[in-house]
Structure 1
Amino acid sequence: MTTLQTEQHGAESAENAQHGLKAHSDGDWANRVPVQTRSDRPKSANIADFPEVTGREVNWKYTPVATIKSLISGDLTDGTSALEISEAPGVEVSSVPMDSELVGRGGLPEDQAAANAWGQIATAQRIFLTSEERQTIVVKRTSLSETPTAAHTIIEAAPQSDTVVILENTGSANLTETVEIVVGAGANLKVVSIQEWDENAIHVASHNAVVARDGNLQHIVVSLGGKVVRVNPSIHLDGPGANGEAYGAYFADAGQHLEHQVYIDHNAPNTRSRVAYKGALQGEGAHAVWIGDVLIRRVAAGTDSYEENRNLTLTEGTRADSIPNLEIETGDIAGAGHASTTGRFDEEHIFYLQSRGISEDEARKLVVRGFLFEVIQRIGNEQIEERLQTAIEAELSQSVLA
């Protein structure tokens, strides 16, 4: 760990220490107090600073820990270089050592899988964006195998830049990674992470973002393929006027586990956030997990925040866990709220479509398409949106929705 990272970890530990907590002579009581809130979780690039994962922890209790055990604590190969990055004006790509001051600005790991990856690779891939005219770059990852692998990517948007970065994940994988996102003052950055892995792939990712004054980050996750996919965005609004938006769409099939834990940290006045994740589930054992945490700190006067998660269960045998949380430390806010729903089709919608001559089966499929496309259309790339729509059509063609 670099000096900068050690200092950050020490400062955060001191700031988040529970008031009145100290060790007693009757044992290590202080270290056994459970974490009460999202902001209290330990942060470190050293896996030794985390206790062993049992599956009972609040951030692991819904995850199939046994399936991803090798990524949490096992040996990993370095897969950072397995990226294909398209060229565009104002895009600089370089490899930086993990002890560089450029590493860690998006935030330190908050769980063992991220810390394990951080400690077993030598370099990070840095994508530096400087164009003030909107550019779109595509980052593809297709060459991974089932060998447990680690990776670290830094996406940095210079002040006043305007870029769309699309991360495409396909093929086989057994991957744990950190994606750092650094948004400069007044910059506009859209990061789209698409998971279309093979059916046996495992992908555990921490996306750690920091947004400066008047910066704007739009983060979009689309998870369709993979056996276990866990993508956790953590967005810290650290400058006045910063805006963070997190959107997600997912479609879980039989035996598939798709998980997203979203954290929005309002750490400056007049910041704004919006979180909206939508998922569909079908087939025996299909499991979706969404946990949304929003922290509005004492310094974040004027905050405007809202988060929601909607799940559409298409068949019997599915499970959707949806947990929205708000932590508010000041009453001087513009607004804050959350919503969560999980259920079957709205029969009034189905009846309306049938009254227009559409069969019941096709009506149900139309509802699902529209439900997920509300998120997918935010990508803003017609070719990719059409491809994802085709993938959803393929999912629906295999289902029995009646």
Structure 2
Amino acid sequence: MSTTTEAPRAVPGSLPHSDGAGSFVPVQTRSERPASFDPADFSVPTGREVNWRYTPLDRIRPLLIDEDTESGDDLAVDYRIDAPDGYHVESTGHEAAPRGEVFRPEDLPSAIAFKRCANALHVRIPQSATAERPIVIEITGKDASRHANAHVIVEAMPQSAATVLLRHRGAAQYAQNVEIIVRDGARLEVVSVQQWDDDAIHASAHQARVLRDAFLRHTVVSFGGGVVRVNPSVALTGPGAQTEMYGLSFADAGQHLESQVYLHHEGPHTKGEVLYKGALQGASARSAWVGDVLIGPDGVGTDSYEANRNLVLTEGARADSVPNLEIETGDIAGAGHASATGRFDDEQLFYLQARGIPEDEARRLVVLGFLGEIVQKIGIPDLQGELTAAIEAELAATPVEGVVA
């Protein structure tokens, strides 16, 4: 496969100055980011790049090394697929359609994973079919010292409807690409849940294309793992395409949970909503969220909004949040973005305590209500109950102080 955008070899992720003097300036907008299937087109990140500035590179170093690990994948990760007959289809080789129809690696771990994963895991919802129960892909790491590469394809054929759940558990060094194609008139929900052990590292790029009058709800839930970096990208290419992108995270001491979200309104009369929420507790708890929305020149009639909210529960925890918005047409229905990081709302606590609820219980209810907004948007009742219990367990592990770091 050919490179889609040339990256300057000396400083990948940079563009030459117009004076032609040979120096470079960093790429600042997501739409300018280079893409390539060849890992050699990406230098090892230093942390100065805009897309790596918040990531602890020393901790994910194993995912930045282009080594042949195909023989070790089976030793690192187990896969189990629960899907109706005919939904799991064979995908042999890098050229097997529809692999690469949508996906273009935008960083080194993604390019390595694409190259090193010989065969994709392909789930296809047949045309006009409706899956009566969620399709579940369970990914279980078996060894934190072993590396695995993966490419997962979720393809919803025209007029189909389904929910696909990706569950990550155990421990491994796991580089993953997820390619999502929502064809005309289809309705798809994809939920990726990260409940890794504390010594797992996980870098994942999700790239989706939503076609005419189709709908995608995409949700990222990160609770476990030492370093978890899940970056979803959705392109609304067809007229009338819609997406809802949600995220939920709870970072404890020693954890780094990150998402870089990209929503591209390419076609006319598209609609997108982005809402990510996170809670942090523990002196070394870290989260990072970067949200980019691009409304292209053909995105007339676009309606788009993105927001990130973070609740810091203890001293020393830190949340970085950066919303960005590019608009290349003046004919839109609306667009906006917002970000907020802080402690408890004192008025909410006062309201609850004034009605006889003890302070500790009041704080617990506030956190549950804050994160529960995302939980309730997931269309899997059993998972909703499980996540609520997981939030309760997180709160019970460390007393909540309710102060800003």
TM interval, short-chain normalised:
over 0.9
Cα–Cα, structure 1 residues 355 and 333, in superposed 2: closer, same or farther, change >3 Å? same
Matches within 5 A, 1:70-89: 70-75=62-67, 77-78=69-70, 79=73, 82-88=78-84
For the residues of structure 1 that align with 2:351 and 2:19, how far apart are their CA atoms?
A: 64
Cα contact 1:145–1:172 (8 A) shared by 2: yes
Deviation at 1:20, TM superposition (A): 9.4
Matches within 5 A, 1:264-283: 264-283=263-282
SS of structure 2 residue aligned to 1:85 = strand
* 2:376 aligned residue: 377
* 1:126 aligned residue: 122
Total equivalences in the alignment = 390
For the residues of structure 2 that align with 1:257 and 1:19, how far apart are their CA atoms?
A: 30
Q: Deviation per CA, 1:3-45, whole angstroms, max 9, x where unpaired?
A: xxx2x715999xxx99996794x6x43xx23213110000111
* 1:141 aligned residue: 139
Matched, 1:219 2:218: yes
Q: Deviation per CA, 1:243-265, whole angstroms, max 9, x where unpaired?
A: 11110010000111000000001
Cα contact 2:28–2:50 (8 A) shared by 1: no
SS of structure 1 residue aligned to 2:264 = strand
Cα–Cα, structure 1 residues 356 and 93, in superposed 2: closer, same or farther, change >3 Å? farther
For the residues of structure 2 that align with 1:18 and 1:185, how far apart are their CA atoms?
A: 36
* 1:116 aligned residue: 112
* 1:37 aligned residue: 29
Cα–Cα, structure 1 residues 315 and 21, in superposed 2: closer, same or farther, change >3 Å? closer
Cα contact 1:310–1:341 (8 A) shared by 2: yes
Q: Deviation per CA, 1:109-132, whole angstroms, max 9, x where unpaired?
A: 011110011111211111111153
Matched, 1:159 2:158: yes
* 1:348 aligned residue: 347
Cα contact 1:309–1:341 (8 A) shared by 2: yes
* 1:180 aligned residue: 179
For the residues of structure 1 that align with 2:304 and 2:230, how far apart are their CA atoms?
A: 21
TM-score (norm 2): 0.92
For the residues of structure 1 that align with 2:16 and 2:277, how far apart are their CA atoms?
A: 41
SS of structure 2 residue aligned to 1:374 = helix
Consecutive unaligned residues in structure 2, runs of 5 or more: none
Matched, 1:299 2:295: no
TM-score (norm 1): 0.92
Deviation at 1:326, TM superposition (A): 0.2
SS of structure 2 residue aligned to 1:39 = helix
Matches within 5 A, 1:361-400: 361-400=360-399
Cα–Cα, structure 1 residues 18 and 341, in superposed 2: closer, same or farther, change >3 Å? closer
Aligned letter for 2:54?
Y
* 2:200 aligned residue: 201
> Is the deviation greater in 48-57 or in 180-189?
48-57
SS of structure 2 residue aligned to 1:364 = helix
Cα–Cα, structure 1 residues 38 and 10, in superposed 2: closer, same or farther, change >3 Å? closer
CA RMSD of aligned residues (A): 2.1
Cα contact 2:6–2:35 (8 A) shared by 1: no
Cα contact 1:303–1:335 (8 A) shared by 2: yes
> Is the deviation greater in 236-245 or in 141-150?
141-150
Cα–Cα, structure 1 residues 46 and 19, in superposed 2: closer, same or farther, change >3 Å? closer
Cα–Cα, structure 1 residues 43 and 23, in superposed 2: closer, same or farther, change >3 Å? farther
* 1:62 aligned residue: 54
* 2:45 aligned residue: 53
Identity level (%): 51
Q: Any runs of at least 4 consecutive aligned residues in structure 1 with deviations exceeding 4 A, and if so which?
A: 10-13, 17-24
Cα contact 2:7–2:14 (8 A) shared by 1: no
For the residues of structure 2 that align with 1:19 and 1:401, how far apart are their CA atoms?
A: 46
For the residues of structure 2 that align with 1:102 and 1:200, how far apart are their CA atoms?
A: 34
Q: Deviation per CA, 1:125-174, whole angstroms, max 9, x where unpaired?
A: 11111153243211101144221211111000001000000111111121
Q: Which has the higher helix share?
A: 1
* 2:4 aligned residue: 9
Matches within 5 A, 1:230-245: 230-245=229-244
Cα contact 1:294–1:327 (8 A) shared by 2: yes
> Is the deviation greater in 191-200 or in 78-87?
78-87
For the residues of structure 1 that align with 2:215 and 2:40, how far apart are their CA atoms?
A: 35
Cα–Cα, structure 1 residues 276 and 100, in superposed 2: closer, same or farther, change >3 Å? same
Q: Deviation per CA, 1:377-400, whole angstroms, max 9, x where unpaired?
A: 211222111111111111100121
Matched, 1:338 2:337: yes
Aligned letter for 2:231?
N
> Is the deviation greater in 163-172 or in 103-112?
103-112
Aligned letter for 1:133?
T
Deviation at 1:91, TM superposition (A): 1.7
Cα–Cα, structure 1 residues 261 and 98, in superposed 2: closer, same or farther, change >3 Å? same
Q: Deviation per CA, 1:46-84, whole angstroms, max 9, x where unpaired?
A: 011112311110000100011111101242523488321
For the residues of structure 2 that align with 1:346 and 1:82, how far apart are their CA atoms?
A: 43
Consecutive unaligned residues in structure 1, runs of 5 or more: none
Cα contact 1:76–1:150 (8 A) shared by 2: no
SS of structure 2 residue aligned to 1:365 = helix
Cα–Cα, structure 1 residues 40 and 348, in superposed 2: closer, same or farther, change >3 Å? same
Cα–Cα, structure 1 residues 19 and 351, in superposed 2: closer, same or farther, change >3 Å? closer
Aligned letter for 2:172?
A
